[in-house]
Each structure stands twice: as C-alpha cells, then as structure tokens.
Amino acid sequence: MNPNVEGKIVISGILKSAQGDNFDVAIGIVENDKFYKFWQNALPVSLSDSPLKLNISVNDQANATANPGDRLQFKINYENNSGVALENVVLKAVLGGLMYDFATLKTGGYFNGVNNTITWNAGNMADLGNLRSGASGVVEFQINVKPQYVMRTFRDKNFLLQVTAEIETPAASAAEDIAVKINTKTELKTKGYYFDSAMKNSGPLPPKVNQATTYTIHWQVTNFSNDADNVMVRSTLPEGVAWLDKKSGAGGATLEYNDRTGELIWNVGKVSAGTGVLLDPYEVIFQVSLTPAAHQANLTAPILGESALTGADMFTGTDIAATAPILKTDLPDDSGVGILKSRVQP
C-alpha cells in the first residue's frame, strides 16, 4: 500500500444465531509466517428474536443422509414469538434436487409442480388465518428418493435434496433450510473364467482330483454418485487353491497375497463417481490354481471365498460396504464351462 492510500473491504452475510457474535478486525503485515498487528478493533453484533420462528427436520433429525428409494418425512415447526396475533400467515416449502421422486409426495398443503413448492395457508390450515401470540404448530410432508441415480454426465454427482421453508405475514417473515445428502452405492463383482483372453488357463476341464487346473478371476468395482476413498477388497483362497502371482488390469499393482493367511487384499484407494456407470468398472485380474481333494469329487469346488469391499463416501462421510459371493467351478460368467464341466471328476 502506498502512503495515504485508502480502501474499503465489505463483508456481507447472514447471522442465524440469536446470541450474536463479535467481529474482530486487525490490520498488519505477515513476515516469516507471523502476523504483526498495527491496529485492531472489535464490533459486537446482537440479534433480537424474530417474531416468527421456523425449524425443519427430516426423519426427526436435524441432519441426515439418504439412499435411493428411501422415504423422507419432513417436519416444519413454526411459532409466533411476537406479542400480538398475526393474520393471514403463509408457509411455503420449496423442494430442490434431481433425486426427488415427486410422484410419491404426500402433503396436506397445495403443491405446485411447476416450481416444486408446497403452500400452507388459511385455506388448508385454519390456524394460519390468525396465529395467536405464542402459538405454534407443525406441517409435514413425505416424499421418496428416486430409486435410481440420475447420472447422465460427470457433473451428475454429490446429489443434494434441499428444502427451503419461508413463513410470512404482511408484517414479518422468517426462513430456514435443510439439505439431505444422498449416499453413493458401490458394487463389487467377482467373475471367474477358464476360457479368458486376459490370461491363458490350463489343466483338465472339468477339474480332476489331485490335478491342477488354473482359472482367471476378475474383481470389478462400480461406484455411482460420489467419490469413494480408502476402498479395499478382501477375500481368502479356499482349500486346494494356490496363488500363482499372475495379475493384470488397472488395479494389478495394488493387489497383494498373504501366503501365511491365504488372504487376498486389494488396496483400491480412491474410486471416482461414475466408475462402472459412465466409465468402465475398475478392475483387477489374477490367476489361481485349483487342485481338488478326493472328498470334493462330484461337487463344484470353491475357487475364491466371499469377497468384501469397504470404504468411505467422500461426500456424505458414511461407510461403504459391498460383498460378492463365493466363486465356484461352475463359473456362471464363462459360457464355455457350464454345469457339465464344473463338477470335480474322481
């Protein structure tokens, strides 16, 4: 700043706390990451109680997350804090968000589908015609989250369902809002093949007791609406199955096998929203060898135990979990195998 230069900084916002706050202001310089003050001042700001008060909850909570298909129950509590009765009170709730299923809406108010607004007034709630001093009440409505994600582009992520409520009279008004975050869904698929272009397999088919047959296994991760992090997939190799240390695919570098525990651990890490929906699934491919025991003769033998995925939703903060069933030698995704080539031969 040159000598004798003046300027102005304007800060605007909304205070919602009736207790108010202090605004502390200081001017100075920063040297070596330390702030040296030349001047400072504090301005106390207090708010008087609004003559009208609003409070919104969803499923009896102040904050909530939801999944596709969930039923949401919103309650809007209102109160006249003024010292006089208020006439011709109008309460409105504006619903915003791509994931609302408006066909499931149930409400005692008037719903305008053009601007997605529910209105309560003396016509459908007699108490709003003359709201006495100190009087309070509640309005409710229920609506479902759409059963499927609305994903057309990469911008369709981090879905919010918002409600903005406003209560007003000719003399006063108040507003409040709430937002519901939609959780992502992550899916894990385990696919097994004998006939696979990714890796060539060998050994008898159908498998035979005390003879090794190799199989290729694909783990595929799909993630819908929000970025996921700390994603990990785990499974174990069953009896008679050996790890061949052959792996490929985008996730091949982070797949590890513990030969002491027989556990497979795929440290997937971060999975972007839209993976497997707008993009191909995130995949790792690996090969194992099955040597059936005598007691497995005439049965379909397991190749890989149940697989479990864990992680965290980066938008809502909730835990993510998914599972894939045990993979056996019937290999439902390999059309070249079928039931006749799946049972272990003596």
Residue 111, pLDDT score: 97
pLDDT (0 to 100) of residue 45: 74
Per-residue pLDDT reduced to its tens digit, 268-312: 999 999 999 999 999 999 999 999 999 999 999 999 999 999 999
User: Looking at residue 113, what is its pLDDT?
Assistant: 94
pLDDT at 18: 52
Give residue 273's identity as a one-letter amino acid code.
Answer: A
CATH architecture label of 52-182: Sandwich (2.60)
pLDDT tens digits for 140-186?
999 999 999 999 998 899 999 999 999 999 888 899 999 999 999 99
What number does CATH give the domain 186-341?
2.60.40.1170
pLDDT at 13: 76
What residue ranges do the domains of the chain occupy?
Answer: 52-182, 186-341
Please list the ranges in the chain whose pLDDT falls under 50. Answer: none
Residue whose structure tokens are 């791509």: 98
Going by DSSP bridges, is the β-strand pair 213-223/302-304 parallel, antiparallel, or unpaired?
unpaired
Reported pTM: 0.80
Dist CA 76 CA 58 (whole Å): 9
The rounded distance, in Å, linking the Cα atoms of 195 and 215 is 8
